[in-house]
């Protein structure tokens, strides 16, 4: 077995072998190369397989990401569980769900492999070369595209990945190591996160072109009393800010319909189903719509950038924050 292990190590140093094994055969092969219990390189490979599977939610997707055969990846995880007497995943249909121990371990593996990525990026940055992958959880393209355009022009080798979702979930995704930078609409008070206010965005009230208020040269918040509104779903920051502004003034309004996206709100308003409210960057001029001149409106949301505190100095995250700061300085 020692001779087999020595041969395998030598062979693996000089070439790449593509062989299809069963999970059991992969486990034997890994044992032959690395020995048991798992230490050093074998442990690192197993932890990488675990980390990729936890993030992808399936072994098939993780194996594809790592460029491994699925049985090989499965064997890595099986060896990790058996060697340490732990359960890392439970099956939920076609997806895998982390156990409590698995979630704890993921916290550590994310730190390890994020640090590895940061070290690689730092070495490249020392040569004025930037490469790697930056994952951004956004709330829409409006605040992000100008930053991305500058970033991509300066560092074309970096793979930028943007995932659009609800603002209230983005901080959690960053905490859970599902991305590098997040955009949120409220300041986040968490010692694990760095949070920087990026910009203030006023809320815009708009109507269909044939709405009676569309012909008015000036309006006040009181003119919105009892109007029907197409409004975002419960939990939306835009909705909360609008409701709070009306409540402070003792004004009421009617919810005609709730919509789950800005695009849906805009289309429903264009179809004369009610007035709409969106953040100014998200208001898209349309011949069917009129922006209402509400003179005494102080409604606004505040976009913040968040990242894990230990990742803030990493070259790609730091560059993103620096470019965002350039935009803030230019607009002040």
Over residues 230-286, the pLDDT tens digits come to 999 988 889 999 999 999 999 999 999 999 888 899 999 999 999 999 999 889 899
**CATH 3.40.190.10 residue spans of the chain:** 109-198+303-331, 200-300
Return the CATH number of the domain spanning residue range 200-300: 3.40.190.10
Determine phi and psi for 95, rounding to 5 degrees: -100, 160
DSSP 89: E
Rounded to 10 degrees, the C-alpha dihedral 312/316/319/325 comes to: -60
CB within 8 Å of 330: residues ≥ 6 apart: none
Can you give the pLDDT at residue 177? 82
pLDDT band of residue 129 (cuts 50, 70, 90) is: low
pLDDT at 13 (0 to 100): 36
Which of 181-185, 293-297, 312-316, 328-332 has the weakest average pLDDT?
A: 328-332
d(CA 41, CA 295): 66
Sign for the CA dihedral angle at 125, 130, 133, 137 comes to positive
pLDDT of res. 39: 57
> What is 109-198+303-331's CATH superfamily?
Periplasmic binding protein-like II (3.40.190.10)
Cβ-contact 306, 295 below 8 angstroms: no
Measuring CA to CA, how many Å separate 95 from each of 60, 77, 80? 10, 15, 19
Question: How many whole angstroms separate alpha carbon 193 and alpha carbon 174?
Answer: 8
- pLDDT band, residue 90 (cuts 50/70/90): confident
Instruction: Determine the pLDDT at residue 148.
Output: 93
pLDDT value at residue 94? 72
Q: How far is CA 206 from CA 171, 197, 285, in A?
A: 30, 27, 10
pLDDT of residue 126: 59
User: Span 2-96: which CATH code?
Assistant: 1.10.10
């Amino acid at each position: 077995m020692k001779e087999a292990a020595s041969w395998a190590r030598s062979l693996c140093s000089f070439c790449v072998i593509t062989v299809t094994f069963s999970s059991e055969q992969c486990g034997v092969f890994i044992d032959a190369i690395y020995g048991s219990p798992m230490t050093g390189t074998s442990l690192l490979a197993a932890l990488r397989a675990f980390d990729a599977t936890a993030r992808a939610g399936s072994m098939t997707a993780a194996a594809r990401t790592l460029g491994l055969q699925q049985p090989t990846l499965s064997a890595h995880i099986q060896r990790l569980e058996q060697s340490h007497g732990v359960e890392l995943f439970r099956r939920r249909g076609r997806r895998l769900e982390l156990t409590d121990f698995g979630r704890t371990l993921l916290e550590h593996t994310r730190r390890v492999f994020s640090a590895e990525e940061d070290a690689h990026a730092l070495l490249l940055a020392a040569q004025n070369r930037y490469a790697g992958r930056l994952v951004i959880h956004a709330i829409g393209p409006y605040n992000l595209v100008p930053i991305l355009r500058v970033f991509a022009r300066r560092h074309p080798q970096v793979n930028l990945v943007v995932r659009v979702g609800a603002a209230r979930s983005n901080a959690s995704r960053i905490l859970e190591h599902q991305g590098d930078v997040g955009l949120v609409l409220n300041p986040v008070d968490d010692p694990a996160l760095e949070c920087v206010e990026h910009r203030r965005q006023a809320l815009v009230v708009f109507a269909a072109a044939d709405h009676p208020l569309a012909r008015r040269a000036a309006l006040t918040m009181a003119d919105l009393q009892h109007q029907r509104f197409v409004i975002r779903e419960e939990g939306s920051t835009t909705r909360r800010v609008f409701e709070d502004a009306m409540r402070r003034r003792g004004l009421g309004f009617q919810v005609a319909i709730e919509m789950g996206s800005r695009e849906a709100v805009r289309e429903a308003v264009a179809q004369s189903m009610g007035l709409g409210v969106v953040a100014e960057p998200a208001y898209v001029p349309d011949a069917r719509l009129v922006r209402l001149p509400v003179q005494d409106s102080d409604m606004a949301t505040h976009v913040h950038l968040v990242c894990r505190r230990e990742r803030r100095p990493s070259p790609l995250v730091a560059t993103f924050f620096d470019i965002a700061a350039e935009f803030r300085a230019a607009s002040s």
